[in-house]
Structure 1
């Protein structure tokens, strides 16, 4: 019995797959990039939240003033105080806290996002109403301007 040398050969076997662990170096690099991008996004979001926290508080206070509106000098003084606090946060280099009267009105109109000419009588009356016994304007009109001005501060 003669043996055929080809009978002694085995079939071709493919190599075993490497599995999913450990990942290839490219996957490690991608994971590091995704981690860094996530950290950067969280830091940017936190910085943005810290910078705009005053706006959330101001809008909450504006809603409180809207619920308690009355044509009294105290109410108009509170509204002006709120606008000055917001102006100090938004425009710190211009020192709006020191402005009064016509300078304060001009500042509000200059930094107002819309309809500056039509808003002048309302702004001037709003500022005067904080010091006069009788309101020179309707609280709703003053609130409308304040909301418009505050809405442009984002």
Structure 2
């Protein structure tokens, strides 16, 4: 009797092999992520290169200002460079500022500005014969590099 019952049972079959298509939703998400990254990565690298070229150009422009110029000419060159960079960035209003207003603009929205280092751009620029020491020039250039870097000019 047991044998007859055993014969009448439906024996289990092996499942069908798992198909590779269509992939699970996780694979679709991974594919979408990879395609997105493959398009965005070259764009991001290109933007970074442009930013670095612009930054190097700005720093080079600061270095190109001759140290042999008189203090008034040197300050005037730096001032002109800053205002040209701001115009290139599309900021017109700050280029019309001078004196204390210009110094206030340079110090606003900037973490821990060294106002005393930037002061020659406001006051000494308009003096008949400003007298800057080498240390003051170096401090001004160092502070301007910080300002340019922070403001992405």
Q: TM-score, normalised by structure 2?
A: 0.59
Q: Deviations over 1:32-84 (max 9, x none)?
A: 5415753785598379659956444323323434xx42342443322112211
**Residue 132 of structure 2 corresponds to residue 137 of structure 1:** yes
Distance 1:98 1:34 in 2: 48
Aligned match of 2:75: 76
Are the counterparts in 2 of residues 96 and 104 from structure 1 also a CA contact under 8 Å?
yes
Task: Select the structure with the greater relative contact order (CA < 8 A; seq sep ≥ 6).
Answer: 1
Which stretch shifts more, 37-46 or 54-63? 37-46
Give the aligned CA root-mean-square deviation in angstroms. Answer: 4.2
Are the counterparts in 2 of residues 128 and 136 from structure 1 also a CA contact under 8 Å?
no
1:146 to 123, 132, 144: 144
Are the counterparts in 1 of residues 103 and 122 from structure 2 also a CA contact under 8 Å?
yes
Structure 2 stretches lacking a partner, 5+ long? none
Between the two proteins, the alignment pairs up a number of residues equal to 144
Q: Flag the 1:126–1:114 CA change in 2: closer, same or farther, 3 A.
A: farther
Aligned-pair distance for 1:149?
A: 1.9
